[in-house]
Structures are given as C-alpha cells and as structure tokens.
Amino acid sequence: MPNIQDVADQIDARLDQISANTANTAQNTADIRTRLDQTNNRLAQINNTLAAGFSNLSQGLFAILQVQLVALELLEQNRKQNDTIICELRHANQLLCNIMRKFGRQLRLSEATLKAALRIEGIAERAHCCEAGDYDRGLETLKRIEECCPPKPLPDEACPEACPAPQYREHQPGGLDWKPLPSPRQNDPIG
C-alpha cells in the first residue's frame, strides 16, 4: 500500500501537470485570440477594399453611361441630318427628272418645228420671193423693237420646300469629372 508521501507526490505531480496544461490552454487561447484579431483586421481591410472598389465601379459605370448617352444623342443628330440629306436628294432627283422630261419634249418639239419651218420657208421663198424679202425686213424690225423694249420674262417654276435642318443641342454629361477613390489604408500588415 502506498504511503501518504507517495500519494501526496502523485497529487502534486498531477497538479503540476494540470497547471502546465492550463498554461498551455491559456497560451493556445491567446494565440487563437491574436489570430482572430489578425483575421478580423484582414476582413476589415477586405471590406474597405471591396467598398472602395464598389464605389469606384459604380462611379465609373455612371461616367460610362453618361458618355453613352452623349453618343446616343450624337447618333440621333446624325440620323436627323441624314434624313435631311435624303430629303434634299429626293427633291434634287425630282427636279432633275422633271427638267430632263421637259428638255426631251422641248427638243422633240424644236426638231419638228425646225423641219416644218425649213420646209415652209423653202416653199414660200420659191412661191413668193418678194414677200420673203418683206418678211426678212419685218424680222429685222422686230429684232430692233425687242432690243429697245424686251418682252417680260416667263416666271421661274417654284422649287420644292426646303427640308428642315435639325438643330443640335449639345449635352454636357455628368460624371466626367470622376476620379477613382484612393485605395483604403491598411492598418496592419498582412502576414
């Protein structure tokens, strides 16, 4: 049977072991707390970085949106100008087509009139040579009268209405003065 001293030594050894284990547990708890503090600091830095990044991203997207709105306005202005150009081209095409038709009719009429006039003049000069001389003198007199008192000119044909020219109103977008936010300061080194 063990004596009291042996039992006391065993109890003392067990108390030393419990004390050592408690010290180790306290040290491990302090290490865990330190690491948790470091993790919390890292998470706070990540949170600050994400918040700044999100803010930068949202401001940058706003600036891009404003630039795209300006681009859309410029495209709309360009479309209006193209509509005006197409309108002008249609009017010009219509006028040229009408002029070509009138010139074609006038040319055919002039050629037919010239043939008829030459034929009649040739017949009349053979049949009435004295009258032909009188006619030539009458033409000369008419020419002098027209030099003195010219006839009124025929009025010009009306042109199509002018196509409306679009008015451009320049748009100043917001957000063009955007600059990224500075990176968040890091309190503790990560390691």
* Alpha-carbon torsion (59, 61, 62, 64), positive or negative: positive
CA 78 remoteness from chain centre: 8
Q: How many domains, in total, are found in the chain?
A: 1
CA dist 79 and 91 (Å) reads 18
Asked if residue 54 is part of any domain, the answer here is: yes
Of 49, 43, 39, 35, give the one whose Cα is nearest residue 185: 49
pLDDT score at 191: 42
Residue 78 lies in a domain: yes
Which pLDDT does position 126 carry in this prediction?
79
In this structure, is residue 50 part of a structural domain?
A: yes
Q: Enter the tokens of residue 113.
A: 């009139």
Q: Is residue 157 part of a domain?
A: no
Does some domain include residue 40?
Answer: yes
Beta carbons of 162 and 49 less than 8 angstroms apart: no
Task: With beta carbons less than 8 A apart as the criterion, state whether 181 and 52 touch.
Answer: yes
160 within domain boundaries? no
* 101 is a domain residue: yes
Which domain does 128 fall in, by range? 4-148
In a domain, 17, yes or no: yes
The series of mean pLDDT values per 10 residues for the chain, 191 residues long, is 83 88 91 94 92 87 87 89 89 89 91 90 81 84 88 79 74 70 61 42
